[in-house]
Structure 1
């Protein structure tokens, strides 16, 4: 017997593990297995359900309860509290309240009245699609292979031919109560069916047990995948007609393009974060003969469409002779044409009660020979939008390879995008955090102050690029922050801030990772002490190199990006009390810190007309967590003050006017103040965070 192909979708059901689980836990187990494989359903997409006999907490009698994935959430990571629970007898009673297609949306308002056991998880609009199918276990998935068949011109005939009567078929219809009744009718009238294909949408499958339902779902998807692999033998998308640029060139183009593009679509305070995807699927599509006609058709599956908008914007770059400056020069016209086209689409399709037109900018930007950029309000949304468009690419490849691909009809697309229920969901979303959509670079990001600053900015919704010269410490810091805030919002790059080329390349990394830069926190530092007569030229130059030249190089590159974006920006220099008041035995350090302070003032002067604010935070004696105190500096300071190293923190606390220690988190709060709109009328200023030092009072 031949071994299965490594890409085959196979059952991962473990009978031994399943035997230990309750019925709700079996639903969770099945859901996680399905959701973890993106070939089966995309992130946040798909639904699962089970009809389970449970004890009614009110009467003590047995009741049939529908457990179904609640509104929002992702099958791959869902927990038991992610499922809605509803009385089946009440759901069945709702049939008597249904008044027809023109009253579809009101049925959603009845679902909370069917809630079992006061479950706070809101039921999704897909609930009726599961409730009325006469089987205990139901899966609704969005596998690329099935959608390729569902989005083909001859979808019904292909379904019958491929599955030999195992699957039913229903014409396209927006999800809702009426579709739930149609699914019930087809399933009841055809008891031998194991599932139904929804035209342009996806797949429903069912079973009498959690295991049989899961294995039917996997088997049907694998059958569709195998059929497409055997029958879709023509060159994808009409064949490749444009070259694919080398990876280094692709990244270089993206780094140069994204600040200009992001700035033009982030006007008016609507900050957007970018995501770059140059996977083989994307590159195959953006170099193909049929790129433009297929992209113009838009996506088919409503899950794809809601994430990616009506259609992408193709940026006109010739990969055989790429001219990024020329491309940037065409952006205004290209973006305005897209906005006008989107507005025309809105005006053609709007209804009397449609919500107001939303952001008319594209979400997906295709660059021939380079890849795909997606922009959204946050990094996760931008990344997921890109993943959904990859799903759409896979669907187009499959459908166009065996038949004719059919996109979602324009009016249907609009009715989903501007669905009042969808609008209500958007209105219920929590208010964005204060730094949502902002991108920050923190140098010295692996140290105590750097980590605290990054954590503070991340907690307020920013994306953060950590930069540090110490790769081991940088890796540790990134892991710590990823564990707390997630991998989408944290990236890192090793850089020596005294190396001009390395600094420029590190800023390019930020452009590729997040599409732009709004906040620079210059924090990389060293500390040294020596009597003036013993201060060597090497020590003098090292301090100036890291603390003055390093700040200059990083801020210059960041300033250039902020100018290109044209949406302002914030720079915060983490200097020192010693930038204002001299300390004996540290002339090189004090002089370099004073240079930082004055550089910030100079930059504040030049940046103001461009809404680029530059401010300084001056810490003093931040010992806990600070790497500069781990080496000789701590020994030197203790020796200079004639105390033991163990007593150094207490010495500085007592030396302060307020008799308080200063911690990295205190510096982070000050940096956040200057980086946020809380200080949007402040530039060229200094905030001392030193627990009080009269010598450092600004004059």
Structure 2
């Protein structure tokens, strides 16, 4: 359907504004446009407002993310508005103002746009604007910086009354182009889309320029000795050591995925004298603290402390943080408040190392880190000109535990079976490994595609989605240092690791007399030693997390079936099979389950079969190579070929919610090979 010109201009303006994070944060703010449209029922011309709906992002906004409302009906709500104590009721009333079907749910800021007498309105969360909005003397600064063109609006929770306040201010100040919303952000308006965008950018850029010209050089105070950033290599090593521990801290109430940030702005903030004071004040803009919690957890040890000292102190600080959050909840909750959602931090600051942020998935964790970086920028600007003075904890609680926010959370889709889990799959650029990685990603897991060939690993990961879904890493599983580096990359990318699939393998089809020592060593290095090294490195991270986990070995029916001309391959598969039993016993006390899968020959899509194994096995059995898959199928009880997706299905079941009490098990995925029955 073709959109009216006003709506088309709105989308273009929104995308431009949202593409630059200096203008607004991800999913933050909203924009609107008013214009004529034809009522398809009466044929009459009516005035509509198109506004970004709840949950959308300006940078990627499309027509489906807009709400369309009738202006006459929206403004008529002023006659039935019951007052600020009952203004939540007005959100439901917005549904009666919608025009047509489809579109997004109207956001809480809809009244701000509809009640203001302007053709176009922008509400944004720029760091420079919020810095003025959170300064102790923000009202005076607003007048000093902008004159009469921008008006100060004292803090008010978003809603219908805030819309009335802004509409009244615009009417009383015809010379104004916008306002600073205390503790919150900015709003600008204009008669055209171009004028409104220009006004928004003028407010943002004018605030930034004023801070740069008049602000203190070091608003966060001097650097504290010992809290400076560690050298990059040392910093990344320490971050990899701490990441699983911190993820376990953030996941006591609910499993979380992590994100690591060590940008210069974050490292500088954490090295400064004012870190503790400012971090304790928490964030101010509702979009910020809804994603970061009201305040971060800050490690109060220097970067020069040992990893062991830092880990011990993090545990102590976690208990204090949980007690503090409980006290915050108890101080402000009443009988109508939703239950406490969790007392663990979503932002953990480790001076000299970096910031660890968390969320239900990787995107949410990454965005939480971006929001706290926004908060750092806001604090820097406010402190440079004045004193940072965010809204009170009582007001933060009213937002965080708002019934409307709770309703939004309840509307979220049910999480998939593996959401919040981080999988590391070896040999995952092709064949069985790729099928497993694909299945786990489709079930909500974050996936690390590990393969000897980095380029192929990255290409396979890209097929699964962006870096919030999967990454590709190089992993020579026979090299302990390479394995540790790959696991470290995984924990820095996603916070930790929960699910290991030892799938990397190769095979040389040779008889006993033709098998060389090099043949034997190669296969044992990759599969027996490789599985051991990967399991060992991953187990360290899993134990540090304290969240349990899964280790899966892709073994083979050959671990129990004595086939011809594959002494080295079958022996190493038997080694893997017994590793399953040994590790199940050893790791069980940590809640880590270890299981194995025994496939029959998987010909289709297999790198092993394509590299010569298939030709050798076909020759051994006296069949054409192209018929090898059917040959394997014909000798089974079910007479069905085994394909990579069948193995992936078994991994899904073993690591999903249905078999949580199963460990030390081998599952045959061979269509029934009687000689390989487990006894």
Please report the TM-score for the alignment, with normalisation by the length of structure 1: 0.94
Q: Which residue of 1 aligns with 2:512?
A: 532
SS at match of 2:312: helix
Aligned mates of 2:95, 2:53 — CA distance in 1: 12
* Stretch moving more, 443-452 or 387-396: 443-452
For the pair 1:246 / 2:231, whether they are aligned, the reply is yes
Aligned mates of 1:216, 1:553 — CA distance in 2: 59
Aligned mates of 1:472, 1:358 — CA distance in 2: 42
- 1:651 Cα shift? 2.3
Aligned mates of 1:467, 1:381 — CA distance in 2: 24
The 8 Å contact of residues 277 and 386 in structure 1, kept in 2 or not, is answered as yes
Aligned mates of 1:563, 1:29 — CA distance in 2: 49
- 1:347 Cα shift? 1.4
For the pair 1:550 / 2:537, whether they are aligned, the reply is no
Match of 1:657 among 628, 637, 645: 637
Aligned mates of 2:22, 2:676 — CA distance in 1: 61
- 1:233 Cα shift? 4.1
Q: Which residue of 2 aligns with 1:154?
A: 137
For the pair 1:183 / 2:163, whether they are aligned, the reply is no
For the pair 1:126 / 2:109, whether they are aligned, the reply is yes
For the pair 1:474 / 2:457, whether they are aligned, the reply is yes
Aligned mates of 1:293, 1:649 — CA distance in 2: 67
Match of 2:119 among 120, 123, 136: 136
Q: Which residue of 2 aligns with 1:262?
A: 247
Aligned mates of 1:77, 1:191 — CA distance in 2: 33
Q: Which residue of 2 aligns with 1:646?
A: 626
The 8 Å contact of residues 65 and 87 in structure 1, kept in 2 or not, is answered as yes
For the pair 1:492 / 2:492, whether they are aligned, the reply is no
Q: Which residue of 1 aligns with 2:548?
A: 568
SS at match of 1:570: strand
The 8 Å contact of residues 57 and 117 in structure 1, kept in 2 or not, is answered as no
Q: Which residue of 2 aligns with 1:293?
A: 277
Match of 1:600 among 567, 580, 602: 580
Match of 2:368 among 366, 369, 385: 385
- 1:166 Cα shift? 1.0
Aligned mates of 1:60, 1:136 — CA distance in 2: 23
Q: Which residue of 2 aligns with 1:6?
A: none
Match of 2:387 among 384, 388, 404: 404
SS at match of 2:88: helix
* Stretch moving more, 431-440 or 394-403: 431-440
SS at match of 1:237: coil
Residues 383, 503 of structure 1: alpha-carbon distance in 2 compared, 3 angstrom cutoff: same
SS at match of 1:688: strand
Alignment of 1:294-693 (within 5 A): 294-319=278-303, 321-482=304-465, 486-693=466-673
Q: Which residue of 2 aligns with 1:63?
A: 46
Q: Which residue of 1 aligns with 2:268?
A: 284
Deviations 1:98-137 (A, max 9, x none): 0111111011110111110123521111100100111111
Aligned mates of 2:178, 2:302 — CA distance in 1: 46
Aligned mates of 1:602, 1:220 — CA distance in 2: 65
Aligned mates of 2:367, 2:349 — CA distance in 1: 16
SS at match of 2:501: strand
The 8 Å contact of residues 302 and 416 in structure 1, kept in 2 or not, is answered as yes
The 8 Å contact of residues 239 and 288 in structure 1, kept in 2 or not, is answered as yes
Residues 226, 265 of structure 1: alpha-carbon distance in 2 compared, 3 angstrom cutoff: closer
Aligned mates of 1:45, 1:203 — CA distance in 2: 12
- 1:21 Cα shift? 8.2
Which contiguous aligned blocks of 4+ residues in structure 1 show a shift greater than 6 angstroms?
Answer: none
Alignment of 1:17-32 (within 5 A): 22-32=5-15
Q: Which residue of 2 aligns with 1:227?
A: 210
Aligned mates of 1:619, 1:644 — CA distance in 2: 21
Aligned mates of 2:340, 2:511 — CA distance in 1: 67
SS at match of 1:678: coil
How many pairs does the alignment contain? 676
- 1:351 Cα shift? 2.8
The 8 Å contact of residues 298 and 408 in structure 1, kept in 2 or not, is answered as no
SS at match of 1:429: coil
Q: Which residue of 1 aligns with 2:257?
A: 273
The 8 Å contact of residues 260 and 564 in structure 1, kept in 2 or not, is answered as yes
SS at match of 1:366: strand
Deviations 1:436-476 (A, max 9, x none): 21111111111221111111111111111111111221121
Aligned mates of 1:652, 1:348 — CA distance in 2: 68
Segments of 5+ residues of structure 2 without an aligned counterpart are none
Alignment of 1:83-122 (within 5 A): 83-122=66-105
